[in-house]
Amino acid sequence: MTANRHKLAMHDLGGVAPFADRPIDRREHALSHFDKSVDALMYLLSHPSRRLIRVDELRRAIESLPAAKYHGLSYYEKWLQAMHDLLVEKGVLGKDEIAARLAALRAAGAKP
Amino acid sequence: MAGHHHDHIHAGDPHAPVAEHGPSPEYLLLERAVRELLVAKGVFAADDMRRQIDLTDSRNPAMGAKLVARAWTDPAFRKKLLAEPKAAAGEMGIDVSNTPELIVLENTPTRHHLVVCTLCSCYPKAILGIPPAWYKSAAYRARAVKDPRGVLAEFGTALPPEIELRVVDSTADLRYLVLPRRPAGTDGLDEAALAALVTRDSMIGVSHPLSPA
Amino acid sequence: MTPAASARFRPGDRVRVRDAWPEEGGRRVHIRTPHFVRGRVGEVERVLGAFANPEDLAFGKPGLPPQPLYHVRFSQPELWPGGGRTDTLTVDIYESWLEAPR
């Protein structure tokens, strides 16, 4: 099997153990407001009128997450982390700017 | 999130499925920070965000079910849905602007389709809404290509061995909608009654449509 | 998507997916050809049109000229030991990943 000879990319999951041996967790999950917000953010950023992040870039940034985050974060947490990384990479937002806004929100005791 | 039961997952079991969980406070705050900064810079308006969330909320499998039911009752529409899926969806009032190309996979007496995206989570969101958690799970992505009949069995779906099971791995630029077979015993049903039989899962291919009561 | 005027392969052609592993080269890459079809032989089912190359788009490059994209169908036993004999798998694959079988 090719899978034994090659080091596969983390997201290239077709037929890959241990996932291929697991039952599928079929429970339904209602989307949270956070999930919908992150989905909407990506839609707005990728819209042809802005094209600040392409879906291909989002995929690449998700695949570039450390394995612990790729398999540990929720689906839309991964999207948000990847969008954050891309906005910084492209200079749309500054790392310091984001850190400052987070600090201000925390100082104000903000509830998300 | 309320309503989740983890009691059957044993702590420390390496084979326990990875459960989707609600957002952590850290990410809730990051979403707010990023959104507020983008609004402050005029990248988009706060209203754009609300409108987009409303649009997402309005997209759900009932839209796909309407397409399927129309295709079952109107041969000309079925032909159009297979030949020009986005145009056919637009005709039914579904907003497919700025969405990827769509292909409709028609199940036949000799062929059944099952859709997966092994590399990420490609899904016809314009037609079906946001994919279910299991569709995005590592287990489904890993198994649907290697053990598709086992996956169908896990969903309680019987498929005779002589029927070709065609798995379609959606890798980048196209999205797939399965056109399931019309169930037997539905001759007298109108379009709305037929649409009620068309489940989300039957348009992904893990299930058959419901049978009439 | 634009029509693929210059597609090298036609429906019915036997094609082999290149046995290439760019992710092992130490360079950052974004690959849309799943690992389990590489080096395997399938049949072109349909020419889907031409699309900007996602391997470039992922890094902010234009991905032009657009590249023909194909539906390639494999028999399950070609991909997995014990795969169902009547069963098949279809994947969208970009032309740069395809070659004539040896």
Average pLDDT for B5-28: 55
Amino acid C5: pLDDT: 73
Cβ contacts (< 8 Å) between A59 and chain B: which residues?
Answer: 119-120
Per the annotation, the verdict on B122 as an active-site residue is: yes
Cβ–Cβ contact C87 with A under 8 A? no
Q: Decide if C74 contacts C15 (C-beta within 8 A).
A: no
Name B128's Cβ contacts closer than 8 Å, sequence gap at least 6: B59, B60, B61, B63, B64, B177, B200, B203, B204
**Distance separating alpha carbons of residues C42 and C90, to the nearest angstrom:** 9
Domain range annotation of chain C: 15-99
Cα distance from B40 to chain A (closest Cα, Å)? Answer: 11
Please tell me the class of the C15-99 domain. mainly beta
Does A25 map to a domain? no
What's the half-sphere exposure (Cβ side, CA atoms, 13 Å) at A61?
24
pLDDT, tens digit (0-9, with 9 covering 90-100), for B81-124: 999 999 999 999 999 988 999 999 999 999 999 999 999 999 99
Q: Is B120 a catalytic residue?
A: yes
Given a cut of 60, whether residue B174 has pLDDT beyond it is yes
Q: Is residue B8 domain-resident?
A: no
Number of domains in chain A: 1
pLDDT tens for each residue of B37-93: 999 999 999 999 999 999 999 999 999 999 999 999 999 999 999 999 999 999 999
Instruction: Give me the total of CB pairs closer than 8 Å, taking one residue from chain B and one from chain C.
Output: 69
Q: Cα angle at A90 between A85 and A92, to 5 degrees?
A: 90
pLDDT tens series, chain A, 112 aa: 444 589 899 999 999 999 999 999 999 988 999 999 999 999 999 999 999 999 999 999 999 999 999 999 999 999 999 999 999 999 999 999 999 999 999 999 866 5
Residue of C53, C78, C89 to mutate, interface with B, max B Cβ within 10 Å? C89
> Which residue ranges of chain C lie beneath pLDDT 70?
none
- B162 contacts in chain C (CB < 8 Å): 86
Query: Number of folded domains in chain B?
Result: 2
Provide the pLDDT confidence category of residue B172 given band limits of 50, 70 and 90.
confident
Check: CB of residue C57 under 8 Å from CB of residue A56. Answer: yes
Question: What contacts B88, CB < 8 A, 6 or more positions away?
Answer: B67, B77, B80, B81
pLDDT reported for residue C102: 80
Kindly report the CATH number assigned to the domain that includes residue A79: 1.10.472.20
Per-residue pLDDT at B32 exceeds 80: yes
Question: Considering B6, B34, B56, which residue would you say is the last residue of a domain?
Answer: B56
Distances (CA, A) of C35 to C26, C61, C81: 17, 24, 15
Q: Give the per-residue pLDDT at B143.
A: 98
Contact with chain C for residue A92, Cβ under 8 A: no
Q: Please state the φ and ψ torsions of residue C16, each to the nearest 5 degrees.
A: -115, 135
Asked whether residue B136 is assigned to any structural domain, the reply reads yes
Query: Which of these is catalytic: B58, B97, B117, B207?
Result: B117
* Pairing relationship of beta strands B174-179 and B101-106 according to DSSP bridges: parallel
**Are C21 and A12 an interchain contact pair (Cβ–Cβ within 8 Å)?**
no
Question: Which structural domain range is residue B88 located in?
Answer: 60-204
Residue B16 confidence (pLDDT) above 70: no
Domain assignment of residue A6, yes or no? no
Residue B2: the pLDDT is: 36
In this prediction, residues B141-159 reach a mean pLDDT of 97
Q: Which residue of C has its CA nearest to B114?
A: C89
Give the domain range for residue A37: 31-112
Give the pLDDT of residue C4: 75
Evaluate if residue B7 carries a pLDDT over 90.
no
Put simply, the answer to whether A13 touches B141 (Cβ < 8 Å) is yes
Residue B86 domain flag: yes
